[in-house]
Structure 1
Amino acid sequence: MRQFHVLLLLLFSSSLLHAQPVRIGVSETILSLPLFVAQSEGLFAKRGVDVTLVKCVGGNRCMKNMLAGQTDLATATELPVVFNSFERADFAILTSFVSTSNDVKVLARKKANVSQAQELRNKKLGYIKGTASQYVLDLVLVYSGVDPSTVTPIAITPETALQALAKAEVDALCIWEPFASKIQKELVSEVNLVPAPRLYTETFNLIATKPVIKTRPRDLELILLALKDSTEFINQNPDKAKTLLAQRFDIPMAIVNSIFNDYRFKLSLNRSLPRTMEGQARWAMREGHVDSALTQPNYNSYVYPRLLKKADPGAVSLP
């Protein structure tokens, strides 16, 4: 009888565990629009999964929170995945849900006399460490013929970017939307957008720890189905999606209209994703952002396509 009661207790405890909401760390960025839409339109509930969205500023922080156990999943570009991959292997990308080549932008103070990328030489440049901001800035410098050793890199945060430019703590900086547009809105004639080639197509990804993948596969599959519904909603109802963005980030609709088509909302896991991360890992090692003596990880093991194959088979081109 005692063994029977213990078994009941274990089953009850297990059911309580799985009844808990799935906590997703959601970066406060336009790239997270499918999560915002899924929440506002009740798409998670329609699929029968309880989700709590936990705000974080930047995918690197979302990843940090997830790996610390504060959330079950995270949203981030590939860069936080790459940087963390040199230290641990207990997480994987479940799906990409948006791609863009024009989310991260370079802004400069007009008084710094920077109107083109070649003029970034010998300037103080702000970047957000461990993110696409750092990667894109390096790409822009090298492509424009500017030796990175000739600039002064200054690590900033998204929250301090506006102040850094306004107070001339940096001459220019590299940052993603909606921070780029909000800085331009706030500083108006004091800053200008530096034209830069579109050298990098970033993806924004849903990432889970492997223990969560093991213990809650059905919940994760339902979340992927809800995100599929959400991306379809965005593509079929762009005006409603734009209104949500404008309201959430306090951006004028004119700005939303000007940047909205830079984003392609669609679930995917393509062969190019691990190859992109391999290139970023080589960059990180070559530039000394991680120890060059470390072994480069196999990024195929950081992608978990099984659940997406169930939720949206046509979105997967990985084995």
Structure 2
Amino acid sequence: MVRAAFFLSLWLLSLAAHAAPLRIGVSETLLSLPLYVAEAEGFFQKRGVNVEFVNCIGGNRCVKNMLDGQTDMSTATELPVVFNSFSRSDFAILTSFVSVANDLKVVARTDAKITEPGKLRDKTLGYVKGGASQYVLDLVLVYNGIDPDTVKLKAITPETALTALANKEVDALCIWEPFVSRIELELGTDVQLVPIPKLYTETFNLIAMQSAIKARPQELERIVQALKDSTQFIQTHPEKVKALAAKRLRVPVTLIDKIFDDYRFRLSLNRSLPRTMEGQGRWALRVGHVPSNLPQPNYTSFLYPAFLKTVDPSAVSLQ
């Protein structure tokens, strides 16, 4: 048995070495930790799959790169899937691998005196277009009885978020980690977090083009298996993965330690995901982010659970 396992391992490593790499757009965020771990701990090699990371900032950019043919797969929240679902259907979510209710935060300039969400009214607010930043900011405004038309919305990028606050181009903005921690580290007492309710639990997902699913199904299944290895490793080696995350994201490990327990790293595809996407689709239609005359897609058809069912059947509950 030991000898058989040894030769199987050699065979899988040989497959990984000779196959053309599957390119994955990996967003620069703590949400991508299972992929960082799989690479650092050799789980992709162990499972016999050759992977190449294409780094990107923001899941919306990762998905765009994938749809433009630059990658085979991408990481993102479900929202870029929803935005693109109105124009095409040649991609699908293979698995979620983390969920979190407060990865996105609202950061305000201290001199703007936005000590609570209700004080966002009549302010200039920054958001990242086409992603969860845009969605969460809208949720916060509406939940607090603020008509989005009564604020001035300014599109920013993750890279310009810090500068937008420092130069007083915006009074506050909605952004995700690690950009929040970097802003706090750089600007110190000049900024403060606005306490917002947990209105949205986001998932971070592995998304693949249908062409890759059809052409290389065994390798995609092995990638899902490697992510399962990673999520299990995260549970058993938290201090080691915190250090890895801090190095990859270029922030002090103390900042990772402060937010780490907010994230639930596990594979899943359950009924709450398409339900969330249906709500986001209605929101996108209602507020005009997509043409209002378009039909809303069936979001269950944007999930491809076959690989996860094989790797971890208990993680799939779509009925």
Scaled to the shorter chain, the TM-score interval is over 0.9
SS of equivalent to 1:269: strand
Distance 2:146 2:258 in 1: 29
Partner Cα distance (1:54, 1:46) in 2: 21
Output the CA distance in 1 between the equivalents of 2:214 and 2:249: 35
Q: Tell me the CA shift for residue 318 of structure 1.
A: 2.0
Paired residue for 1:125? 125
Give, in whole Å, the separation in 2 of the partners of 1:315 and 1:53.
25
Deviation at 1:123, TM superposition (A): 0.4
Name the structure 2 match of 1:107.
107
Structure 1: stretches of 5+ with no match in the other structure: 1-14
* C-alpha distance in 2 between matches for 1:121 and 1:87: 34
Q: Where does structure 2 lack aligned partners over 5 or more consecutive residues?
A: 1-14
Cα distance between partner residues in 2 of 1:250 and 1:55 = 14
Across the aligned residues of Structure 1 and Structure 2, the Cα RMSD in angstroms comes to 1.2
Runs of 4+ in 1 over 2 A off after TM superposition: none
The aligned counterpart of 1:73 is 73
Quick check: 1:214 aligned with 2:219?
Answer: no
| Aligned position for 1:228 | 228
Report 1:32-43 matches (<5 A): 32-43=32-43
**Distance of 1:314 and 1:149 partners within structure 2:** 44
TM-fit CA distance, 1:115: 1.0
2: CA distance, partners of 1:19 / 1:240: 30
What is the one-letter code of the residue matched to 2:202?
A: E
Q: Do structure 1's residue 245 and structure 2's residue 249 form an aligned pair?
A: no
1:78-113 CA-to-partner distances (Å, cap 9, x unmatched) read 110000000100000000000000100000001111
TM-score, reference length from structure 1? 0.94
> Counterpart of 1:316?
316
Q: Residue 254 of structure 1 aligns with which residue?
A: 254
CA–CA distance in 2 between the matches of 1:121 and 1:288? 21
Aligned residues: 304
CA distance in 2, matches of 1:171, 1:298: 38
Q: 1:3 maps to which residue?
A: none
Superposed CA offset, 1:126-157 (max 9, x none): 00001000000011111112111110000000
How far apart, in 2, do the equivalents of 1:74 and 1:257 lie? 26
Alpha-carbon distance, 1:219 to partner: 0.2
SS at match of 1:276: helix
The amino acid of 2:116's aligned partner reads Q
1:12-31 correspondence runs (5 A): 19-31=19-31
Write the distance in 2 (CA, Å) between the matches of 1:125 and 1:40: 38
The percentage of counterpart residues that share the same residue type is: 67
CA drift of 1:253 comes to 2.1
CA shift digits 1:162-210 (9 cap, x unpaired): 0000000000000000001100100001000000000000000000010
| 1:160 CA drift (Å) | 0.4
Residues 259-298 of structure 1 aligned to structure 2 (within 5 Å): 259-298=259-298
Determine whether 1:98 maps to 2:98: yes
- Which residue does 2:134 correspond to in 1? 134
2:54 match: secondary structure: strand
Letter in 2 for 1:60: N
